[in-house]
Amino acid sequence: MTSRFLAFALIALAGLLLLPGISSGNEPACAQGQIRLAFGCADAAKTAERVRAIVRETMRKLDLRSAIVSVRVDDTPVLSQAWGESAARQPATLDMHWRIGSIGIAYLTTALLQLQDQGVLSIDDKLSKWFPDYPRANDITLAMLANSTSGYAEYAKLDLFPLYDDIYYQWSEDELIQISFKQGMDCEPGTCFSYSHANFIILGQVMAKASGKPLADLIRTGILEPLGMHETRSDATPFVPPPVLHAFSTDIGNTYQDSTGWSPSWTTAAGAVMTSTVPDVMRSAAAIATGQLISPKAYAQLLDPRTASLPPWTPSQYYGLGIFVSDGWIMQNPFFFGYSGVMAYRPAEKIAIAVTCTLGPKADFSGNTSTMLFQRIAQGLAHPPPSPANERTWMPDQNAENVPGR
């Protein structure tokens, strides 16, 4: 139970093997009906069929109850489709809402950088400017909170955090922060990567205090409205707007059960606890990853590899400000309470992918299956289609047990 719970803390992306090679951007344009991938031009319709085959096979191998996938290359929509069922005899559909977890953190840090662009604050400001009584506030910057190098401890540890005693309990931010503070510091500020949900709760408090506006309003006006994300909302209660993609979990008593109504109030800052749809998440993938909503200076800070020298990260795989950079992909991958997803964009090939899936009773609940499905799709886009002499459906040469990124 502990490992599947703490997987929400993001480290699952380390070790992903994704698209090889980077296109130069100077290649000639592809013909009408084609898209440019790492290996060259490809037929968009045939690429969509390959993605469908990958999704169907992955659903079978991993016992996925549902999968909703959207793929776009540059300005060309390749595929947006739902498979499986949400609840019994209720087919999954593209317009179904699901809990997007840490994708909301990417929106939070984008809104943070927007406040910096407006002159409201700087990410190099010390936390003591707003909360002088918080531990080590004189030594912790807002950037350290955003990239999880503050040293604050994770509160979401089951031996300290009675989450499953009442999965409907509405946690307050003060309760969650105090659980973190009572553990002491994990390290000196700025000297280690130690993912803590408390970092983002505190950031949300700072942003609200500095701007005089609730975090939910900052995200709505700075991100959701400009991108036309009308199906995305902030709500820390168990409510999910209809139509609902139901989630299923074995977290309690190892019993397979509907977990849709469990409280998400503990997951991040109030205002960034969100529900959305795959099409809405897709609208934000390229915008967040290319810095469309922030200044060039802020965009460089968003992707600054400050954590690259800190375990478990490397120069090619590290945590920026609330977002992963992994082998050329800029992404987030939420995973909790039976929900999982991926929002990813690869600037080199202008590929955007949004994924969510839910699990059947025989699935492995210890890993982020949306990350696994995303990886298989990404690998499929990296390889040319089979030759006429080998027309079998392409699949990654690995089984579910060996997929990195678990």
Concatenated DSSP letters of 120-155: S--TTSBGGGT-TTSTTTTT-BHHHHHTT-S-BPPS
- 383 pLDDT band, cuts 50/70/90, is confident
Task: Say if residues 326 and 15 touch (Cβ distance below 8 Å).
Answer: no
Poorest-pLDDT segment among 163-167, 190-194, 394-398: 394-398
241 phi and psi, to 5 degrees? -65, 145
Return d(Cα 36, Cα 41) in angstroms, integer.
4
pLDDT digits (tens, 9 = 90+) for 62-92: 999 999 999 999 999 999 999 999 999 999 9
Task: Say if residues 190 and 256 touch (Cβ distance below 8 Å).
Answer: no
Structure tokens at 360: 């059947």
Residue 404 clears pLDDT 90, i.e. is over it: no
pLDDT digits (tens, 9 = 90+) for 190-225: 999 999 999 999 999 999 999 999 999 999 999 999
Which amino acid makes up residue 7? A
Return d(Cα 316, Cα 47) in angstroms, integer.
27
Residue 398 clears pLDDT 60, i.e. is over it: no
Q: What is the pLDDT of residue 25?
A: 54
Mean pLDDT, rounded, for 104-130:
98
118 phi and psi, to 5 degrees? -85, -5
Q: What is the pLDDT of residue 387?
A: 60
Please state, rounded to an integer, the average pLDDT across all residues of the chain.
90
Q: Which residues pair with 342 in a beta bridge?
A: 355
Q: What is the pLDDT of residue 91?
A: 98
Mean pLDDT, rounded, for 307-321:
97
Q: What is the pLDDT of residue 385?
A: 79
Residue 3 clears pLDDT 90, i.e. is over it: no
Q: What is the pLDDT of residue 160?
A: 85
Q: Is 282 helix (H, G, I), strand (E, B) or coil?
A: helix
Return d(Cα 107, Cα 100) in angstroms, integer.
11
Q: Which residues pair with 344 in a beta bridge?
A: 331, 353
Q: What is the pLDDT of residue 26?
A: 65
Beta pairing, strands 317-319 & 274-276: unpaired
Which amino acid makes up residue 205? Q
Q: What is the pLDDT of residue 395?
A: 35
- 51 pLDDT band, cuts 50/70/90, is very high
Q: Which residues pair with 84 in a beta bridge?
A: 66
Structure tokens at 34: 């084609």
Q: What is the pLDDT of residue 55?
A: 98
Mean pLDDT, rounded, for 356-385:
94
Return d(Cα 207, Cα 112) in angstroms, integer.
7
> Mind listing the domains of the chain with CATH numbers?
2-17+32-402 (3.40.710.10)
Determine the Cα angle at 346 with ends 43 and 220, to 5°.
115
